[in-house]
Amino acid sequence: MSAPAGKLGLDPGVIAECRQAARQIADQVAEEISGRTTVSVERSVTRLLGVDGADAVEAPLPNVLVDHVHERGGLGQGIAHWLGNAMIQTGRSPQQLAEAVSAGELDLLELEQAEDGAIRERVSEECAARLREISGRFEERRAMRERLGDAPTPLRYVLTATGDVYEDVVHARAVAEAGGDIVAVIRSTAQSLLDYVPYGPTREGYGGTFATQANFRIMREAMDEWSESHGRYVRLSSFCSGLCMSEIAAMGAWEGFDNMVNDALYGILYRDINIVRGLIDQRVSRMINGYFGVAINTGEDNYLRTADAIEAAPSVTASQFINHQLARDSGVPDAQIALGDAFEIDVPVENGLLLEWAQAQLTRELFPDCPVKYMPPTRHMDGNLFRTHAADTLFNLVTVATGQGIQTIGVPTEGIFTPHIHDRVLGLQNVDYVFNAARDLGEEIEFKRGGIIQTRAQEVLAGAHALLLRIAEIGLFQAIDEATFGDVSRKVDQGRGIEGIVRTEPGYFNPVVGLMREPAKADEASYA
């Protein structure tokens, strides 16, 4: 998937300066969030050590375990430290230890302390074995994907959201039947602010279905069955967002998910999650996604739903540069970084299509090795489903002509309710028609020198360049405070989940981070 090179007459020097500024910004972020962990990061460690299940009052065992240590003031050492020690002292597995703690039979902090080196060795061994197990499953999945084959890009990404996982299965089958390549189950609205992941299959949700490991498994089994019987691989996606983004990454890895929305900025801006909490969680969440070959989707498209699509275009491009660098710093290779972009210019804007075309082409030229996740018009779509269907047709045309890697399909009933089963099929039929009819249009097109499209792309890049230089000067946190993204302002010392940040102590240990920094399978990309 190579982007058509250089149709926009962009200045390579400006692009290089943008990348340099993004590196500087990402380094500052790393510095600001260093020396801290969060309750959800620690819970992810327990999950990657095999802890699962819930107690009698439905509190997930990872929470029980982490809260147990946190209440006793020990979390600054890392949950792995206490688990490793307890494994040595009792000979029990992390799961057995979690159950004993939950039953009130064991206090991890009162056990005799083994020597630090021995603890690290024991818990790293356990963690490495689990990672090998998950990697093995990932390899099987890769083999299945290769055997069954992928559709040509742009991959068609479709959202389902019934609230009932068993209904989601029916909807997902209809999506697969109509040519969808990636099924994403939208999460219940309430979930992003829960500081735990609910346990078990769920049949009630608001605006979506709870992301639980059991629900992941039910969807995965249904889609694998469909893929095998129809000879085409269907990918699954969920949302590493909200207060549990790193835990969901771990759960998705266990259950063989292929894609994940992964962008802390969304939660920070639109769910008022604390900036530091969000970015610490994101770093680990992306690390896990990157390691297990999961493609991440970033959320720049959302800015255009709250800020004006024409004026805010440079903030989208600037954010793409930053997100790209932050993802790379977490070990995610380019081929797994699907940067966000959206087709959100209001319908009556004259030459709006040309401006959209410029923006879409710009993203492709700036990040030629990233798949990009291109989002349909939503903000200005009202109940007039016929107009929405027409707008989606233009969106589909720009998608195929600019060679986007992943396209979230538009549905005619956008803005009315979460789509009904047939709405997605109508959307996919529109996509098929346009993709097929204009398959190689991009190869045929060159843009007029100094014309509307070239000029617009150059202006957006120049705006992004200025913005990046400013952010590099003041730092990302101050930029967010100044409402640079989506017209929303958030302060670094406020927001939800702030109480879940824990300062690490000198003996802090997290085996996952260490093991994942080793050369991973992630350099072979799923979007080669």
Residues within the interface to other proteins (CB under 8 A): 170, 173-174, 176-178, 189-190, 193-194, 206-207, 269-272, 305-306, 378-382, 415, 420-422, 425, 486-488, 496
Where would I find the H helices in 199-338?
Answer: 213-230, 245-254, 264-270, 275-291, 303-306, 313-329
Strand partners, 37: 502
Sign of CA dihedral 42, 43, 46, 50: negative
* Active-site option among 341, 373, 374, 423: 373
* Active-site option among 67, 301, 392, 423: 301
Q: 373 an active-site residue? A: yes
Pairing of strands 501-503, 36-38: antiparallel
Q: 301 an active-site residue? A: yes
Q: Which is nearer to other proteins, 130 or 380 (CB)?
A: 380
Q: What is the distance, to the nearest Å, from the Cα of residue 495 to the centroid of all Cα atoms in its chain?
A: 21
Closest approach, Cβ 487 to other proteins, in A, equals: 8
Q: Which is nearer to other proteins, 415 or 514 (CB)?
A: 415
- Alpha carbons 30 and 10: distance in angstroms, whole number: 30
* Active-site option among 233, 266, 291, 374: 266
Q: 448 an active-site residue? A: no
Sign of CA dihedral 264, 268, 269, 272: positive
What is the number of other CB atoms lying within 10 angstroms of the CB of residue 497?
25
Angstrom CA distances, 472 to 14, 24, 278, 293, 466, stand at: 15, 6, 20, 30, 10
Closest approach, Cβ 208 to other proteins, in A, equals: 10
Q: Which is nearer to other proteins, 170 or 462 (CB)?
A: 170
Residue with tokens 């084959």: 149
Q: Which is nearer to other proteins, 151 or 421 (CB)?
A: 421
Q: Which is nearer to other proteins, 217 or 420 (CB)?
A: 420
- Alpha carbons 94 and 123: distance in angstroms, whole number: 9
For 43, half-sphere exposure in the C-beta direction (CA atoms, 13 angstrom radius) is: 28
Closest approach, Cβ 437 to other proteins, in A, equals: 20
Q: Which is nearer to other proteins, 303 or 509 (CB)?
A: 303
Closest approach, Cβ 295 to other proteins, in A, equals: 25
Closest approach, Cβ 175 to other proteins, in A, equals: 8
If you write DSSP's letter for every residue of 398-461 in order, what string do you get? HHHHTT-SEEEPP-TTTTTSSPPHHHHHHHHHHHHHHHHHTTTHHHH--PPTTSHHHHHHHHHH
Closest approach, Cβ 57 to other proteins, in A, equals: 14
Query: What are the residue numbers of the active site?
Result: 266, 301, 373
